[in-house]
Structure 1
Amino acid sequence: MKSNLRKSALAVSAMILATAAHAQSSVTLYGIVDAGVMYMSKTRNATGGNGGKFIGFTDSGEAPSVFGLKGDEDLGGGMHAEFNLESGINLGNGGFNNSNGNLFGRQAWVGVRGNLGTLRAGLQYSPFFDVVWEADPRGLSQLGSNLVVYSYNALGTGVFNSNMIKYDSPVIAGLQGSVMLALGGVAGDFQAGRQYSANLQYHWRDLGVFAAYYNGNTGGAMTPLPTNLGMQARIIGASYKFDALTAKASFTNYKMAGSGINNNVYNVGVDFMATPVIDLNAGVWYMVNRDDTSSKSLLGAVGANYFLSRRTGIYTQVGVVNNKGGQNLGLAMGEAPTTLYAPAGTTVGVNVGIRHLF
C-alpha cells in the first residue's frame, strides 16, 4: 500500500515538474510617472467666457501617469495566455487620474495569443482608438495631440470599452486587422450600450496606411468620464519614415448623437529624432463642424524631449488654439476640464515637465 502511494506521489510530482518546465510564466510591473508645470493664457468659465489665466502643477503633462501588471504564460505550441491590469494615478494627490475613476480603469483583460491571432476579453482600447494613436504625430501627448481632439469630441467613449471581446489578426504580408464587440449588459435591451469597432492597417517598408470605424449606442453603465455616448466615428491616414523623420497625415470624423457635434478633423505632423537623445515633434489640427461651418478650430503644437537616460527624460511643449463660432476646443488633458475646453479666440499653453518609465 505504501509503495503504491509512493509511486503515485512520484508520478504526480513528475507531472507537476513537467508542466512547470513546459509552461513558463512571468508577471511584469510597469508604469509611467509624469509631472510638471503648465501655463494657459485663457481658460473657459462656466458660461463659456474667459475664466482667466492658469498656472500651476500638472500631473501627466506629456504622458499619462500609470502603473500596471502584465502577465504571460507559455502554453506550448505557440500559444500564450496573457493578462493586463492598468490604472492611472495622480502625482499631485496620489489619487486616480486618466483611469476613469476606477482602480484598473484603463485596462483589465485576459486573453490568449497564438499563430492565428489574439483574442481578449475585458476592459480594453477599441480598434478605432488604436488607429487614432497610430496616426498621431505627437504620440498622443496630453497637450496638443489627437488625444485632446478625441476627448473634446467623445470624452472616454471608444477609449475605455467595458465588457469587450476583441480579436487581433496576425500580420500577413504587412496587413493586420482588429475587430471588437462590447456588450452593454442592460437586461431586456441588447442594443443599449452596445459598441463595435474595426480597423485595418498595412505596413510596407517605410510606408504605413491605416483606417478604422467605430459605432456605439447610448446606455449601459455610467462612469465618471462618460464612455457610453452615442458615437459614429471613422479615420483614415498614412505615415512615411524618411530616415530619422516620420511624417503623418489623417482625416477623422466624429458624429455624436444628440449633441450637435459632427466634426471633421484634418491633421498633419512630423516627429524628428534630431540626435539619439533629442526628439522634436509638431502637429497641426483643423476641425470644422459639417453642420455649421462657421464653427471651427485650429490647433498647433510643438514639443521637444531630451532623454537623460533610456527611462528618464525632460520635455517642453507649446500649443496654440484658435476657436470660432460654437467650437471651444482646448489644449490639454492634464487639468481637464480647465484645459480641455477654451473660449473663443486664441489661447496659448506651455508645459514643462519630467517623465520616468519603470
Structure 2
Amino acid sequence: MSFESNRRRIEIAVAGMFLTMLMGPGSVHAQSSVTLYGVIDAGLLYTNKSLNEKTGGNAGSQISLTDGDLSASRFGLKGAEDLGGGLKATFTLESGFSVANGGFANSNGNMFGRQAWIGLSGGFGSVKAGLQYSPFALALIGSDPRDVAYFGSGAGIYIDNVFVTGLFNQNSVSYTSPEFGGLRASMLLGLGGKAGDFQSGRQYSASLTYQTGGLLVDAAYYNGNAGGTASTPIPSTVPFLGRTIGATYTYGNLVAKASFVNYKVAGAFDSRVYGGGASYFINPAVAVDAGVWYTSDGNDTKNHSILGAIGGRYNLSKRTTLYAQFAAVNNHGAMNTGLAVNGALFEVPGTAIGATAGIRHLF
C-alpha cells in the first residue's frame, strides 16, 4: 500500500473522529460558544474617618488595599447555542471574589453568587431562570452617573440600605420583551420556595424603558419579602419596596444622568435619593465623571446625607485602566451613608472625605 493511500486513510479517520466529537450525544448540529470573562480591580483607599462598629463613633483615619473601587472583581462563563430560526439557548455563571484576600466577595457570598441562570431568547424576547439581576437593579445601574463605581456612587447607597437584595435574586424567573417603538419591558418573579407560605421570600420586580435618539428614560419597581428557603451569607431578602425613575441623555462624548430612587425598608429608613451627574470622554484614552446624591429619610427628615464624588480614568489599553477618585459625604441624624462599598460602606455623623487610586483589568 502506498504512502499516499495510508495518509488518506489517516485523514479520513481523524476527520471522522473530529466530526463525532462535534456532533456529540444526540447529534446536535447547532453552533455554540462558551466565553470566559472577568474583571480584576484593586486600589488603595484613604478615608479621614471610619466607623467603629462597636461604639458607632469615629475610629479614625485609615488607609487600606481594597477590592473593586471602580468595578466589582469577578469572573464568569457565558454561553449561547444557536437553535435555529432565531432561537438561542443562553446561560451565565458569575462569581465575585476579592483581590485583597482571594475569598468570595462582591456577591451574596456563594460561589456563583452574582449570576447563575439559563434561558432562551428569540423574536419573542428573552426568558431566564435562576440567580439574576432584578429589573429594578438594572434600572439603577443604567441611570447612575458614575456607572455604579464601588467608590462614590449610588452603588454604596443601595447596599447601605438593603445589602444585595434585588441585585442577586435567587429562585427567580424573568421575561424581557423585544423593543417596540423604543419601548422595552422587563419582569421578574422570585419564588421563596417555602412550603405552605408563598409570600415567604417572594420577590418581584418590573421595569419599562423608553429610548429615542440620545434620550433614555427608565422606570422600575421592586417588592420583596423576608424569608424563603434560599440561604446566602450576605443578606439578600431584606424586606423593602423600591421605586425609581431615571433619565440618560447622550450628546457626543457627554453623557448626563439624573434619577430618583426610593428604598422603603421595613423597620428602618424610608430613603429618598435624588442623584445626578455626568461623564465626559476627553479623548478615547481619558474620561472624567462626577455625581451628587442627596438622601432624605421619609420617616424622619432629620436623617439625611449628601454624597459627592469625582473621578478620572486613563485607559492604557482597551482592557487596562488606571483611575483616581475623590469623594466627600456629610451625614446628619441617624443617616450613615458611606464612601465605598468595600472598606467604607457606613460612615459616622458629620463630614468624611476619602480618595482612592487603582488599576482595573478586563479579560
Pairwise TM-score range, normalised by the shorter structure: over 0.9
1:229 is matched with which residue? 238
For 1:95, give the aligned amino acid: G
Which residue matches 1:257? Answer: 266
Conservation of the 8 A alpha-carbon contact between 2:271 and 2:295: yes
Correspondence for 2:51 among 9, 21, 44: 44
CA distance in 2, matches of 1:16, 1:133: 40
Residue identity in the other structure for 2:252: D
Unaligned runs of 5+ in 1: 1-11
- Please show how residues 44-63 of structure 1 align to structure 2 within 5 Å: 44-46=51-53, 47-63=55-71
Give 1:97 deviation, angstroms: 0.8
Number of the residue aligned with 1:150: 158
SS at structure 2 position matched to 1:148: helix
Task: Give the CA RMSD over aligned residues.
Answer: 1.7
**Aligned residue in 1 for 2:118:** 110
Mapped to 1, the partners of 2:352 and 2:233 lie a distance apart of 27
| TM alignment of 1:45-194, pairs within 5 A | 45-46=52-53, 47-194=55-202
Residue 248 (str. 1) matches residue 257 (str. 2): yes
Give the corresponding residue for 1:321: 329
C-alpha distance in structure 2 between counterparts of 1:268 and 1:36, whole Å: 25
State the distance in 1 between where 2:125 and 2:198 align: 28
Distance 1:110 1:45, change over 3 A: same
Any conservation in 2 of the 1:67–1:88 contact (CA below 8 Å)?
yes
For residue 79 of structure 2, give the secondary structure of its aligned residue in structure 1: strand
Partners of 1:20 and 1:198 in 2: how far apart?
A: 39
Aligned letter for 1:182? G
Q: What is the aligned counterpart of 1:348 among 337, 350, 353?
A: 353
Find the partner of 1:30 among 37, 56, 61: 37
**C-alpha separation in 2, matches of 1:135 and 1:82:** 26
* Partner Cα distance (2:263, 2:330) in 1: 19
Does the 8 Å CA contact 1:267/1:286 hold for their aligned counterparts?
yes
Check whether the contact 1:36–1:353 (CA below 8 A) recurs between aligned residues: yes
Q: Distance in 2 between matches of 1:200 and 1:209?
A: 8
Specify whether residues 354 and 255 from structure 1 end up closer, same or farther in structure 2 by C-alpha distance, changes over 3 A only: same
- Aligned partners of 2:340 and 2:248: how far apart in 1? 24
List aligned pairs for 1:264-343, cutoff 5 A: 264-335=272-343, 339-343=344-348
SS at match of 1:293: coil
- On the 8 A contact 2:23/2:29 being kept in 1, the answer is no
Per-residue CA deviation, residues 235-269 of structure 1 (Å, 9 max, x unaligned), is 0011111211010001111101122x101100011
Deviation at residue 316 of structure 1 after TM alignment: 0.4
Given candidates 192, 196, 207, the residue that maps to 2:204 is 196
Instruction: Judge conservation of contact 1:22–1:76 (CA < 8 Å) in 2.
Output: no
Q: CA deviation at 1:21?
A: 7.9
**Deviation, structure 1 residue 24:** 0.2
1:20 offset after TM fit, Å? 6.5
Task: Tell me by how many angstroms 1:16 deviates.
Answer: 4.7
The 3-state SS of whatever aligns with 1:39 is strand
1:6 match:
none
What does the per-residue CA deviation read over 1:55-99, in whole Å, with 9 as the maximum and x for residues that have no partner? 011111110110000010000000000100000111112111112
One-letter amino acid of the structure 1 residue matched with residue 211 of structure 2: H
Report the counterpart of residue 15 of structure 2 in structure 1.
none
User: Identical aligned pairs, as a percentage?
Assistant: 51
Code of the residue aligned with 1:348 in structure 2: it is: I
Query: How far is the alpha carbon of 1:222 from its aligned partner?
Result: 3.5
Q: Secondary structure at the match of 1:229?
A: coil
Which runs of at least 4 in structure 1 moved beyond 6 Å after TM superposition?
none
Residues 22 and 74, structure 1, Cα contact 8 Å, conserved in 2: no
Report if aligned partners of 1:315, 1:352 keep a CA contact under 8 Å in 2. yes
Once the two structures are superposed, residues 211-236 of structure 1 have per-residue CA deviations (whole angstroms, 9 ceiling, x without a partner) of 00000011123322111111101000
Counterparts of 1:232 and 1:158 in 2: how far apart (Å)? Answer: 10
For residue 228 of structure 1, give the secondary structure of its aligned residue in structure 2: coil
Aligned length: 342
Cα distance in 2 between the residues matched to 1:22 and 1:136? 43
